[in-house]
């Protein structure tokens, strides 16, 4: 499935309605970062560009211009050439870009002509200009590292330097509000990504064996989701055997998994840009020890209890406090801690984040949940003394009177896992 152009047009209209009068928004699709010598990392589209156009191609630029109520949308793409076709295959044609995005063919040009277009039609108050000189320039101000320049400011450097009279504003503040609440088709795509993920997890559970290397299990997951139709991984897969599972973002995946240990697998597949983010923890040999079962059940109970709390009006910080309290009670009950405050030794992350085109998706956490918000539920316990880390992560969508667990059919009950892994 793909997002239809009618929905993309609605997204751009919604953004226009939030933009101020006499403003210009430039959204860059980005490009793959350099890796070494003549090698580049795989390209991941700027998600805001993808959200507004449905296109995942390097070096394209979306131009959105608003006068009062009058709006203009243009897309600038890379031109095709015989040379490019020979080396990397045929580029997207203007007609195809128009068909995907719903932007009329006449409003699609080539990036080589963008500087002239901007200087003549937009950044001037001449007879040729569309609305007169805009007052505001909206750019995507996401900073990949604290106190660094947003990447879009590097792309738009010439404009910023030569037009200091343009007030810079952050496009993310507007677009994040739109992306935080998912449409029916976005939820369907997340569900598709979850189904690919389920198929990958089941393959891992079926083929898991003591002594197997973590990277072999991780590769099985990646192979299976691609076989199932996913375009790839939502994020770097975490396969952490035994004691390594206490490291939250363990990505080395290079140790062999000890017999009798649990393996924590935090992973997700992608469907048309939308991500799944699931964690399952299971015994490498297919059978929980009584102690593993006891700890696993504690996390599972909290996973379910948190899902039960989710409904419109609830704040994510309330879910965090609730999860922490529930985990602390169970640690007390198990005699692992004597004081509730010590829960921090065994649980040290948040229980939820938004999920969508980004795995840790955009949107403020300062407002209550509302229908259409998709979020993870991922309580965990990490007990280094026992060489055990357990996390159980599901993806849920907020609905009118509660929440629907989109990953409900990825098995997580002890007896389901044991009987599935029986051989
Ligand atoms: N996979 C990263 C997370 O669960 O947040
Ligand atoms: Mn995860
Ligand atoms: Mn997560």
DSSP secondary structure of 68-81: SS-EEEEEEEPPP-
pLDDT band at 237 (very low <50, low <70, confident <90, very high): very high
Strand partners, 278: 267
DSSP category for residue 212: -
Alpha-carbon span 96 to 102, nearest angstrom: 10
**Gap from CA of 207 to ligand 3 centroid (Å):** 24
Beta 278-283 vs 388-391: how paired, if at all? unpaired
31-68 tens-digit pLDDT: 999 999 999 999 999 999 999 999 999 999 999 999 99
Residues 108 and 80 sit within 8 Å (Cβ to Cβ): no
For ligand 1, pick from 350, 359, 407 the residue to mutate: most ligand atoms within 8 Å of CB.
Answer: 359
Strands (E), 123-221: 136-139, 167-170
Q: Ligand 1 atom closest to Cα of 234?
A: 1
Alpha-carbon span 343 to 327, nearest angstrom: 7
pLDDT band at 87 (very low <50, low <70, confident <90, very high): confident
On average, the pLDDT of the chain sits at 97
**Tokens in use for 237?**
């897969």
Residue 4 has pLDDT above 80, yes or no: yes
**Rounded alpha-carbon distances, angstroms, from residue 297 to 81, 307, 390:** 59, 15, 10
**Gap from CA of 360 to ligand 3 centroid (Å):** 7
Q: Ligand 1 atom closest to Cα of 238?
A: 1
Alpha-carbon span 239 to 13, nearest angstrom: 42
**Gap from CA of 239 to ligand 1 centroid (Å):** 12
For ligand 1, pick from 270, 356, 360, 391 the residue to mutate: most ligand atoms within 8 Å of CB.
Answer: 360
Average pLDDT over residues 369-385: 98
| CB neighbours of residue 249 within 10 Å | 10
What is the CB < 6 Å shell around ligand 1?
Answer: 235, 266, 277, 353, 378, 393
Q: Ligand 1 atom closest to Cα of 235?
A: 1
Nearest CA to ligand 1 atom 3: 277
Residue 344 has pLDDT above 90, yes or no: yes
Provide the pLDDT for residue 86.
87
Provide the pLDDT for residue 89.
86
Residue 423 has pLDDT above 80, yes or no: no
Nearest to 156 by CA among 174, 146, 168: 168
Q: Is the pTM of this model over 0.85?
A: yes
Provide the pLDDT for residue 339.
97
Structural domains in the chain plus CATH codes:
5-179 (3.40.350.10), 181-421 (3.90.230.10)
Residue 141 has pLDDT above 80, yes or no: yes
Cβ-Cβ contacts under 8 Å for 91 (sequence gap 6 or more): 57, 77, 78, 79, 80, 81, 84, 85
Tracing tokens 């505001």 back to the chain, one arrives at 136
Alpha-carbon span 327 to 378, nearest angstrom: 12
Average pLDDT over residues 201-226: 98
Long-range pairs, 308-312, Cβ under 8 A, ≥24: 308/402, 310/369, 310/375, 310/377, 310/396, 310/398, 310/402, 310/403, 311/369, 311/398, 311/401, 311/402, 311/403, 312/368, 312/369, 312/370, 312/371, 312/398, 312/400
Residue 361 has pLDDT above 90, yes or no: yes
pLDDT band at 88 (very low <50, low <70, confident <90, very high): confident
């Amino acid at each position: 499935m793909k997002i239809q152009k009618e929905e993309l047009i609605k997204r751009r209209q919604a953004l226009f309605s939030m933009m101020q009068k006499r403003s210009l928004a430039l959204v860059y699709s980005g490009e793959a970062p350099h890796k070494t010598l003549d090698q580049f990392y795989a390209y991941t589209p700027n998600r805001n560009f993808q959200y507004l156009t449905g296109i995942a191609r390097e070096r394209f630029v979306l131009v959105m211009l608003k006068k009062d109520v009058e709006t203009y949308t243009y897309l600038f793409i890379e031109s095709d050439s015989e040379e490019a076709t020979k080396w990397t295959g045929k580029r997207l044609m203007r007609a195809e870009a128009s068909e995907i995005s719903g932007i009329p063919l006449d409003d699609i040009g080539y990036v080589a002509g963008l500087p002239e277009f901007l200087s003549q039609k937009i950044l001037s108050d001449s007879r040729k200009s569309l609305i007169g000189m805009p007052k505001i320039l909206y750019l995507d101000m996401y900073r990949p590292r604290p106190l660094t320049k947003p990447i879009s400011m590097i792309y738009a450097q010439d404009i910023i330097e030569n037009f200091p009279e343009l007030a810079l504003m952050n496009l993310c503040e507007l677009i994040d509000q739109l992306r935080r609440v998912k449409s029916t088709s976005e939820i369907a795509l997340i569900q598709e990504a979850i189904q690919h993920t389920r198929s990958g997890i089941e393959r891992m559970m079926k083929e898991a064996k003591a002594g197997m290397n973590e990277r072999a299990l991780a590769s099985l997951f990646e192979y299976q989701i691609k076989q199932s139709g996913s375009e790839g991984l939502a994020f770097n897969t975490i396969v952490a055997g035994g004691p390594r599972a206490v490291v939250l973002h363990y990505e080395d995946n290079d140790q062999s998994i000890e017999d009798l240990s649990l393996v924590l697998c935090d992973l997700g597949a992608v469907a048309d840009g939308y991500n799944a983010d699931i964690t399952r923890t299971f015994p490498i040999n297919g059978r929980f020890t009584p102690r593993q079962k006891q700890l696993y059940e504690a996390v599972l109970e909290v996973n379910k209890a948190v899902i039960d709390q989710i409904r419109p009006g609830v704040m994510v910080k309330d879910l965090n406090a609730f999860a922490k309290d529930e985990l602390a009670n169970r640690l007390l009950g198990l005699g692992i801690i004597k004081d509730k405050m010590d829960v921090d030794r065994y649980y040290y992350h948040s229980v939820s984040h938004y999920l969508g085109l980004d795995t840790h998706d955009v949107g403020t956490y300062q407002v209550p949940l509302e229908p259409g918000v998709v979020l993870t539920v991922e309580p965990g316990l990490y007990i280094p003394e026992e060489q055990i880390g357990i996390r159980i992560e599901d993806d849920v969508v907020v609905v009118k009177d509660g929440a629907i667990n989109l990953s409900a059919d990825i098995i997580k009950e002890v007896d389901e896992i044991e009987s599935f892994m029986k051989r």
